[in-house]
Amino acid sequence: MNITPKQLNILKFIQGFTETNQYSPTLQEIADHIGVSKITILDHLRALERRGIIRRQRYLSRSIEVTVGLDDSEPGGIVRPRTSLPLVGRITAGAPLEAAQSQEVMDIGDLMVGRKDCFLLEVRGNSMIEDHIKDGDYVVCEKRERANEGETVVALLSNGETTLKRFYRQGSKFRLQPANSTMQPIVVDEVKIQGVVTGVLRSY
């Protein structure tokens, strides 16, 4: 992934500043270090953001996050994506199952460049088979507490069990719908969304 030398210098400064201070620099601090105007820095940051190399939160001055690893050994200022996500457990795609925590990490290439906080879950069961999510697959989940109608979610039930289902509001209740015509939905009074599925990984 080639970037300009100035962009590489900006990334190095942001990364070093953040590691030292535990928060990111402001536009002015970057501009002062690089020796250009804030407008020029903003143009570079927008370009890097479009390519998924950084993330920023709007209206926050210290919210720049470098989403890639920098590699000085490569010619042309190549940026290598950070490719590891935590494998946080296994989740049923059948009846609800208690979620397990795990210290494992999986390397999934540049699939997640430009996304928010994500994690992996290994699928157990075939209740989502009609959505092409099978037993043994890994689902990539964006950590979120809210979901839109019809999104596939990691749902935490009131009894402490988790399940992978499509999410729907049904009056005052919530319907967790399997993608398997042989299975019935789970209808509950309350549910906590822990993540929304953004991708599926499968090895053959």
Which residues are known catalytic residues? 127, 165
5-21 and 27-34 are packed helices; what angle lies between their axes, rounded to 10 degrees? 120
Q: Is 102 exposed, middle or buried (0-12, 13-18, 19+ CB in 10 A)?
A: middle
The residue length of the chain stands at 204
CA distance 42 to 81: 22
| The two structure tokens encoding residue 180 | 């398997």
CA distance 109 to 111: 6
Whether 125 contacts 94, CB under 8 Å: yes
Closest alpha carbon to 88 in 132, 154, 150, 34: 154
Contacts of 19 (CB under 8 A, 6+ apart): none
| The two structure tokens encoding residue 13 | 């400064």
